[in-house]
Amino acid sequence: MSSRTEPSFRESVDLMFNRAVSLMDLPPGLEEKIRVCNATYTVRFGVRLRGAMHTFTGYRSVHSEHMEPVKGGIRYATGVNQDEVEALAALMTYKCALVEAPFGGSKGGLCIDPREYEEHELELITRRFAYELAKRDLIHPSQNVPAPDMGTGEREMAWIADQYARMNTTDINAKACVTGKPLNAGGISGRVEATGRGVQYALQEFFRYEEDKAAAGLTGKLDGKRVIVQGLGNVGYHAAKFLSEEDGSRITGIIERDGGLSNPDGLDVEAVRNWIVKHGGVSGYPDAQYVEDGALLLEEDCDILIPAALEGVINLSNAERVKAPLIIEAANGPVTAGADDILRKKGCVIIPDMYANAGGVTVSYFEWVKNLSHIRFGRMQRRQEEARHQLVIDELQRLDNVMGDTWSMSPNFKDKYLKGAGELELVRSGLDDTMRVAYQSMREVWHSRDDVTDLRTAAYLVSIDKVAKSYHAKGL
Ligand code: NAD
């Protein structure tokens, strides 16, 4: 164990920021302007439940308004505090800049264990929290647009959207006040799985570059790679599911609140998820070895480690023992600044949070645009695209008839080619493009500068440069 002390989450983000800006040439004062959090609102409100008044504490932090609206999730967890919300808001600024989502950074949180409340109680609490934020424009389509995070999902976003609409009855853009809503309440196809899908696309892009794989001592494809995932919630479940079902990776470890599961032959992600839903945890799951202290699995041998639960889980106390050559930060801040130093020295490659989990905000951006344009993506062009494809198919069909046995269309070609892109296909295409382009911008810096030896510093350099340029354009 190191004698160094662990900084707080926000200090950790600041340390990483400082390391990057020391390599930049920013005008005096601008560096601090970008780093600091503009404002954090704390609210305490009461809700009458079970015959008594209960007081809840919530936060909404705005890190940077260089672009508006500002954007960032709302988290429900007992550990929520001002430091955490500010760290997460700062990460949102850098994340949005990196993936070119036109937002400033924000984040919110409520100190609550949602599992302790009935659905109707959670609705009352969420609506009251939303009321407190909306009346201060901390929920607003052009000012501040929340989204789901740990402990919240489509259901909470639908309540928030409805609460805002009740308070702003004539706002034609009311639905754009929050993203991550269910499809029937103004959501977009592919948002629920977007962050996990983004983790998959990020890994696919990383594995396209021999040089990058070599930096982690890896070769080949994602197929057969051993993956350990911490947190089988929204992000971890989708990432693990897509990697195992579509890329052939082997999920050899899953870590949850009550312990971890390990199986060198690969775990069935869907079966583990169903087990958790039914039994409340992973303990007792039949086709794996159960480890009571799940965090020990973070130190197991594997090719890719995906922390997808909480911040600070890889820290000074365990970083030295982490064996994974590649870590992709699906969660926000899972590796502390101190652990990051240790892992870098060991040669571990870390795909940083601000890039790795940006799939959520990317598809949230698409949802916000959909809400403002009041039309589903693909609605205008899909059938027209199909009609043009039909012309090509008809010509090929004619050729097929003339050529007899010497040539024929491949099986399934007709069906696949004819299908015009609907909203889901367009969302996936936009997300894939975003993840590829953002990765390329980071790796360009990583490989072209001698003083940049890791992807996190590269990510900060790219995003801080963009934020600085927008301040500059505003005359600051
Ligand atoms: P979630 O609430 O859906 O899932 C979190 C999972 O982690 C749950 O299954 C929970 O049981 C598990 N967990 C909690 N404590 C744990 C512990 N000590 N050890 C192991 N597992 C534990 O949350 P989520 O939306 O999947 O978010 C996870 C992380 O991803 C967070 O850091 C969040 O900020 C980040 N993130 C989420 C989104 C999104 O779109 N939901 C977007 C970007 C980043």
pLDDT tens readout for residues 190-233:
999 999 999 999 999 999 999 999 999 999 999 999 999 999 99
- Range scoring the smallest mean pLDDT among 2-6, 256-260, 326-330: 2-6
For residue 240, how far is its CA from the centre of ligand 1 (angstroms)?
A: 13
Both 211 and 169 in a single domain?
A: no
The reported pLDDT for the residue numbered 405 is 84
Residue 145 pLDDT > 60, yes or no? yes
Question: What is the rounded average pLDDT of the residues 12-34?
Answer: 93
Domain tally for the chain?
2
Both 247 and 130 in a single domain?
A: no
Mean pLDDT of the chain: 96
Q: Do the domain assignments include residue 127?
A: yes
Question: What is the rounded average pLDDT of the residues 20-32?
Answer: 92
Residue 163 pLDDT > 80, yes or no? yes
- Range scoring the smallest mean pLDDT among 27-31, 115-119, 343-347: 27-31
Residue 4 pLDDT > 80, yes or no? no
The reported pLDDT for the residue numbered 144 is 98
Residue at which a domain ends, from 185, 215, 241:
185
The reported pLDDT for the residue numbered 407 is 85
**Domain coverage including residue 61:** 39-185
Both 239 and 98 in a single domain?
A: no
Our answer on whether the CB atom of 14 is closer than 6 Å to any ligand 1 atom is: no
Both 139 and 231 in a single domain?
A: no
For residue 311, how far is its CA from the centre of ligand 1 (angstroms)?
A: 9
State the greatest distance between any 2 C-alpha atoms of the chain, in Å, as a whole number.
81
Active site residue 107: yes
Residue 404 pLDDT > 60, yes or no? yes
Our answer on whether the CB atom of 150 is closer than 6 Å to any ligand 1 atom is: yes
Q: Do the domain assignments include residue 62?
A: yes
Our answer on whether the CB atom of 234 is closer than 6 Å to any ligand 1 atom is: yes
Both 329 and 200 in a single domain?
A: yes
Residue 29 pLDDT > 60, yes or no? yes
pLDDT tens readout for residues 422-436:
999 999 999 999 999
For residue 152, how far is its CA from the centre of ligand 1 (angstroms)?
A: 10
Residue at which a domain ends, from 125, 159, 185:
185
Query: Residue 339 is part of a domain; what is its CATH number?
Result: 3.40.50.720
Measuring from atom 20 of ligand 1, which residue has the nearest CA? 256
Q: Do the domain assignments include residue 24?
A: no
Our answer on whether the CB atom of 360 is closer than 6 Å to any ligand 1 atom is: yes
Both 152 and 237 in a single domain?
A: no
The reported pLDDT for the residue numbered 177 is 98
Please pick, among 33, 71, 95, 107, the residue that the annotation labels catalytic. Answer: 107
Residue 51's contacts (CB-CB under 8 Å, 6 or more residues apart) are: none
Residue at which a domain ends, from 359, 387, 417:
359
Question: What is the rounded average pLDDT of the residues 35-61?
Answer: 97
For residue 423, how far is its CA from the centre of ligand 1 (angstroms)?
A: 26
Q: Do the domain assignments include residue 31?
A: no
- Burial class of residue 148, CB neighbours in 10 A (0-12, 13-18, 19+): buried
Our answer on whether the CB atom of 148 is closer than 6 Å to any ligand 1 atom is: yes
Our answer on whether the CB atom of 332 is closer than 6 Å to any ligand 1 atom is: yes
Q: Do the domain assignments include residue 113?
A: yes
Counting ligand 1 atoms within 8 A of each CB, the residue from 149, 154, 254, 362 with the most, and so the one to mutate, is 149
pTM above 0.85, yes or no: yes
Our answer on whether the CB atom of 455 is closer than 6 Å to any ligand 1 atom is: no
Both 236 and 146 in a single domain?
A: no
pLDDT tens readout for residues 275-303:
999 999 999 999 999 999 999 999 999 99
Question: What is the rounded average pLDDT of the residues 24-43?
Answer: 94
Both 143 and 217 in a single domain?
A: no
Q: Which atom of ligand 1 is nearest to the CA of 311?
A: 32
Measuring from atom 41 of ligand 1, which residue has the nearest CA? 149
Our answer on whether the CB atom of 149 is closer than 6 Å to any ligand 1 atom is: yes
Both 272 and 225 in a single domain?
A: yes
The reported pLDDT for the residue numbered 205 is 98
Q: Do the domain assignments include residue 448?
A: no
Both 204 and 114 in a single domain?
A: no
Measuring from atom 28 of ligand 1, which residue has the nearest CA? 309
For residue 330, how far is its CA from the centre of ligand 1 (angstroms)?
A: 9
For residue 331, how far is its CA from the centre of ligand 1 (angstroms)?
A: 7
Measuring from atom 8 of ligand 1, which residue has the nearest CA? 233
pLDDT tens readout for residues 70-83:
999 999 999 999 99
Q: Which atom of ligand 1 is nearest to the CA of 310?
A: 32
**Most confident of the ranges 30-34, 352-356, 417-421:** 352-356
Q: Do the domain assignments include residue 304?
A: yes
Query: Residue 69 is part of a domain; what is its CATH number?
Result: 3.40.50.10860
The reported pLDDT for the residue numbered 1 is 44
pLDDT tens readout for residues 225-272:
999 999 999 999 999 999 999 999 999 999 999 999 999 999 999 999
Our answer on whether the CB atom of 146 is closer than 6 Å to any ligand 1 atom is: no
Site of tokens 């699995």:
297
For residue 233, how far is its CA from the centre of ligand 1 (angstroms)?
A: 5
Both 129 and 220 in a single domain?
A: no
Both 211 and 132 in a single domain?
A: no
Measuring from atom 23 of ligand 1, which residue has the nearest CA? 150
Q: How confident is the model at residue 3 (pLDDT cuts 50, 70, 90)?
A: low
Q: Which atom of ligand 1 is nearest to the CA of 309?
A: 7
Counting ligand 1 atoms within 8 A of each CB, the residue from 103, 150, 291, 365 with the most, and so the one to mutate, is 150
Q: Do the domain assignments include residue 387?
A: no
